[in-house]
Amino acid sequence: MNTVPDPPRDSRPRLDRDLIVQTAITSIDTHGVQGLTMRRVGQDLGVAAMSLYRYVSGREALLEAVVEKLMDGVTARADAVGFTSWQGYLQVLANEVRRVAQSHPAAFPLVASRHPATPWLRPPLRSIELVEHFLATLSDFGFDDIRAVDAYKAFTTFLIGSLLLEVAAHGEDILSVDETLNEGEAAIPEQDAYFDLQQAPHVCRMQDRLSQDTTAQEFEIGLEALIDRIERSVSQ
């Protein structure tokens, strides 16, 4: 007796937001940010592009989600590595962020160009959760509020400049990432849209100093430190 074979089961993974975001990251790794489209992500998943809009509202929101995914787990991994001093903490955290840049050099410029959680936070430590972890850790090591915020600003300036140069040196285009800080559709990172600042007491307490524009002073201090370092090097 002949039997009719069962139709092949759909081998595609179950569609969800996390899968879409991870597929977008893989697409950026291969085709660059400019090559990311909802249609391409849909094709990679074997679904129509319209199916994606059930989980993300559009390309802008997808790019925000990509940045959120890239930086997700940085502080947890830093805690897992462990540190016994503030110097050790900065080294561990810097290397965790660098690992993101090295693993996804084409996507990393988005960390610099997309919306921070608020205008007074800086990439790559651009979410309230990340900044709270940073400020709380330095406070635990004896930093007062002024020195903790100054350290945050100096640390983020060093990281973003150094890592963007590193990915550019490996051939990534850091200038043509066309998404800027004003796209309208995705005004702030989704995870921070409903974040209660009361859950981030250090950020809340230091908000005024975080929001102060000290870029001119930071430039002069950084330049002086660089000159001092070069001077010590050539005098040895």
Q: How far apart are CA 101 and CA 113, in angstroms?
A: 14
Question: Residue 182: its pLDDT value, please?
Answer: 38
CB 128 within 8 Å of CB 197 = yes
Q: Record the tokens describing residue 10, joined without a space.
A: 């759909």
Closest CA to 180 of 228, 95, 112: 112
DSSP assignment of 100-114? HHHH-TTTHHHHHHS
Q: How confident is the model at residue 190 (pLDDT cuts 50, 70, 90)?
A: very low
pLDDT digits (tens, 9 = 90+) for 15-72: 999 999 999 999 999 999 999 999 999 999 999 999 999 999 999 999 999 999 999 9
Domains of the chain, earliest start first: 67-235 (1.10.357)
pLDDT digits (tens, 9 = 90+) for 80-100: 999 999 999 999 999 999 999
Question: Residue 12: its pLDDT value, please?
Answer: 63
Q: What is the pTM of this model?
A: 0.83
Q: How far apart are CA 150 and CA 162, in angstroms?
A: 18
pLDDT surpasses 90 at 186: no
CB 113 within 8 Å of CB 179 = yes
Q: How far apart are CA 180 and CA 113, in angstroms?
A: 6
Q: Record the tokens describing residue 103, joined without a space.
A: 């693993």
For residue 123, is it left (φ>0), alpha (ψ between -120 and 50) or beta?
beta
Mean pLDDT of the chain: 87
Q: How far apart are CA 28 and CA 41, in angstroms?
A: 10
Closest CA to 103 of 71, 64, 62: 71
DSSP assignment of 40-65? HHHHHHTS-HHHHTTT-SSHHHHHHH
pLDDT digits (tens, 9 = 90+) for 100-156: 999 999 999 999 888 788 888 999 998 999 999 999 999 999 999 999 999 999 999
The DSSP secondary-structure symbol of 75 reads H
Q: How far apart are CA 59 and CA 32, in angstroms?
A: 14
3-state helix, strand, coil in the chain (%, to 5): 65, 0, 35
